[in-house]
Amino acid sequence: MFADYARVWPVHAILMGSAVLSLLMAAWAVTLGRHRKGSFRIHKIAAVTAFVLLAAGLVVAAGMVQASGGPHLRVPHGIFGTVTILLGFLTGAGGLITTKAHANRRQLRTVHLWAGRVAVLLFLLTIFAGLRQAGIL
């Protein structure tokens, strides 16, 4: 299934691109839309959607690399992607912990906010590295 690179990489690109758009929606909901009713709910839904899309995109990426026979993490896109996904998952976990925590909530929220900001920047860097690897840029 993953051996036909020309048919599979667009699926990876669509999944990951949709995840980034969902993350941007989550960021928008708590920044620009924070004074609107339901914005935190939109933030949580968009973040969970991004998590699911990231996981699916990661499975497709791992399948493509495995089918190619090459080692994982051999190109900048793979390295950036791995770091970005780890930070993204940690950011999501931090957000979940922040909503459940009673002690140190302000500090946890600050860490979650900054991790999210860095994750968005890393996602954009990873996208550019992937587009460059694919020969689009």
pLDDT digits (tens, 9 = 90+) for 33-75: 777 888 889 999 999 999 899 999 989 988 888 887 777 788 8
How many domains does one find in the chain? 1
| Contact indicator for 94, 112 with CB cutoff of 8 Å | yes
Tell me which residue range forms the domain holding 16. Answer: 5-133
> What's the pTM value of the predicted model, to 2 decimals?
0.81
Q: Predicted confidence band at 15 (pLDDT cuts at 50, 70, 90)?
A: very high
Region 98-109 average pLDDT: 86
Q: What is the DSSP string of 63-120?
A: HHHHHHTPPTT-SHHHHHHHHHHHHHHHHHHHHHHHHH--SSHHHHHHHHHHHHHHHH
Residue 4: pLDDT over 80: no
Residue 98: the pLDDT is 87
CATH code for position 14: 1.20.120.1770
pLDDT averaged over every residue in the chain: 86
